[in-house]
Amino acid sequence: MMKYDFDAMHNRRIAGDIKYNCPSDVIPMWVADMDFKVPDEISDALIKEAKHGIFGYNKPDGEYMSLVTQWYKLRFDWEIRPEHIITSPGVMFSIGASINALTEIGDSILICQPVYYPFSKIVTANKRKLVISELTETNGRYQFNFDDIKTKIKKHSVKMFLLCSPHNPVGRVWTKDELKKIGNICLANNVTIVSDEIHSDFIYQGNTHTPLASISDELAKITVTCTAPSKTFNLAGLQASNTVVFDPVIRRKIEKSIAASGYFEINTMASVSTKAAYQYGGEWLDGLLSYLEESRQILQKAFPTDFPISLIQPEGTYLAWLDCRKTELTSTKLYDIFLNKARVWLHKGDTFGKSGNGFMRLNFACPHSVLCEAIDRIKYSI
Ligand SMILES: Cc1ncc(COP(=O)(O)O)c(C=O)c1O
């Protein structure tokens, strides 16, 4: 029997819960957080801290830094040192700080759509020019269009590339070869890479996550790697992220940009939960990955080839990208049918870019019973 009970149902209909801000008969499967409780060691550490009752200014200590570096060594054989880490309240915060630190207003920044939609928003909100290269999809597998990327980088004098690795929403775990290829294009054209690796702990059988900056010293020098325990351990509400920057000049620039925003340090509970997660959470995560592997199989079986919806098999992340193009319905119409007829709340595919039209994103980090119920409802609604 599994040591951790991922089948357990928990009440999330509490004040301020974004995911469950919907009528009680709707199953929310949109935003990327999980319906599982964190490992007991994290809750216990937070309770102990709460009972301490004094919450003065906080700064992550040496133990925090060692636990983060050990996690990446153990899980990815990636050597980072404490001085390479910049703590921040979130990956998007670090991406914003990197944009401000390393590019100028009007500079071009490249993204590959469909991709996590705040990427495009943060580029334009900071008055940078958005350059989009579409991923190409063949037989349910997405790939970079290297020629298009190269052409666009040169044509628009791109200064920065925002990479999503593993990729939300299409679920690709980029291979070392693909990463090398994209990295070399950036190296040859003086493009700084911000590699968002927030989903890197969710990798399914047969796939391997390679931290881009681990590939070579040259790539390490031009890469800002965004990591966080938030997706892995369901801690998004606690706001902790670790940005790894090897190059001291780039690091200093990002630190200055963060200081200029008036931000000081991650909060005490973010620090306490991150430490407990990386110290005690490994076994829990392995249990969770086995559970999600089964969820992935449930999804695969749910949509046979003669059905108008097919699954883009996720290699990583807990997000399923559903190809609904055979229904000939737009994402807006699909959203409406799934929400109002099936009572299942999914993310509209075109939110992630125009090429996401006809797709929907489903978060499957929930008990199997909920996933099966949602699949049944979706199938009967179409
Ligand atoms: C690829 C990606 N990056 C960043 C985030 C958000 O991270 P944070 O809350 O640390 O800003 C998400 C959340 O879904 C994500 O999927």
Q: What confidence tens digit (pLDDT) does each residue in 358-381 have?
A: 999 999 999 999 999 999 999 999
Q: pLDDT tens for residues 45-64?
A: 999 999 999 999 999 999 99
**What CA–CA distance (Å, rounded) separates 64 from 74?**
15
- Rounded to the nearest angstrom, the distance between the alpha carbon of 91 and the centre of ligand 1 is 6
Ligand 1 pocket: which of 92, 163, 201, 225 to mutate (most atoms within 8 A of CB): 92
Say what the pLDDT of residue 368 is.
98
User: What is residue 332's predicted lDDT score, i.e. its pLDDT?
Assistant: 98
The preferred substitution site among 31, 91, 239 for testing ligand 1, maximizing ligand atoms within 8 Å of CB, is 91
Distance 307 CA to ligand 1 centre (A): 32
Angle at 286 between CA 374 and CA 41, to 5 degrees: 100
Per-residue pLDDT at 363: 98
Query: Crossing angle of helices 176-188/146-155, nearest 10°?
Result: 20
Closest to 258 (Cα-Cα) out of 246, 245, 275: 245
CATH code for residues 27-40+282-381: 3.90.1150.10
CA distance 375 to 302: 7
Beta bridge partners of 195: 163, 225
Euclidean distance between CA atoms 318 and 131, whole angstroms: 27
pLDDT at 232 over 80: yes
The residues lining ligand 1, judged by C-beta closer than 6 Å to any ligand atom, are 32, 90-92, 116, 164, 168, 196, 198, 228, 230, 236, 241
Are residues 154 and 103 in contact, defined by beta-carbon separation less than 8 angstroms? no
CA of 89 to the centre of ligand 1 (A): 11
Between the CA of residue 319 and those of 45, 322, 361, what are the distances in Å?
29, 9, 7
| CA–CA distance, 359 with 334 (Å, rounded to integer) | 8
Q: Specify the ligand 1 atom closest to the Cα of 119.
A: 3
In this structure, the residue with its CA closest to atom 14 of ligand 1 is 32
> How confident is the model over 6-12, as a mean pLDDT?
97
Q: Does 184 score more than 80 pLDDT?
A: yes
Closest CA to 170 of 193, 148, 143: 143
Going by CA atoms, what residue is nearest to atom 9 of ligand 1? 90
Q: Which residue's CA is the nearest one to ligand 1's atom 10?
A: 90
Instruction: Quote the ligand 1 centre to 92 CA distance (angstroms).
Output: 6
Q: Work out which ligand 1 atom sits closest to the CA atom of 241.
A: 10
CA of 344 to the centre of ligand 1 (A): 22
d(CA 291, CA 367): 9
Predicted confidence band of residue 304 (pLDDT cuts 50, 70, 90): confident
Burial of 239 (0-12, 13-18, 19+ CB in 10 A): middle
What is the predicted pLDDT for the residue at 306? 86
Q: What's the 2 CA to ligand 1 centre distance in angstroms? A: 29
The residue whose CA has the least distance to atom 4 of ligand 1 is: 91
Relative to the CA of 230, which ligand 1 atom is closest? 10
Distance, CA of 255 to CA of 232 (rounded, Å): 25
Mean pLDDT (the chain, rounded): 97
Q: Which atom of ligand 1 is nearest to the CA of 236?
A: 9
pLDDT by residue (tens digit) across 268-299? 999 999 999 999 999 999 999 999 999 999 99
Contact in structure between 186 and 135 (CB atoms under 8 Å): no
User: How close is the Cα of 287 to the center of ligand 1, in Å?
Assistant: 23
Question: Would you say 375 and 299 are in contact if contact means Cβ atoms under 8 Å apart?
Answer: yes
Domain residues of the chain, as ranges? 27-40+282-381, 55-280
Spatial separation of the C-alpha atoms in residues 181 and 338, rounded to whole Å: 39
By alpha-carbon position, which residue is closest to atom 7 of ligand 1?
Answer: 91
User: Is 1's pLDDT higher than 60?
Assistant: no
- Distant-in-sequence, close-in-space partners of 340: CB < 8 Å, separation ≥ 6: none
- Distance (Å) from CA 199 to ligand 1 centroid: 8
CA 292 to centroid of ligand 1, rounded, Å: 19
**Residue 198 CA, ligand 1 centroid: distance in Å:** 7
Average pLDDT, integer, range 241-247? 98
Cis peptide before 23 (omega within 30 of 0): no
Question: Which residue in this structure is represented by tokens 């690795």?
Answer: 165
Q: Model confidence over 62-119: pLDDT tens digits? A: 999 999 999 999 999 999 999 999 999 999 999 999 999 999 999 999 999 999 999 9
Q: Which CATH architecture has domain 55-280?
A: 3-Layer(aba) Sandwich (3.40)
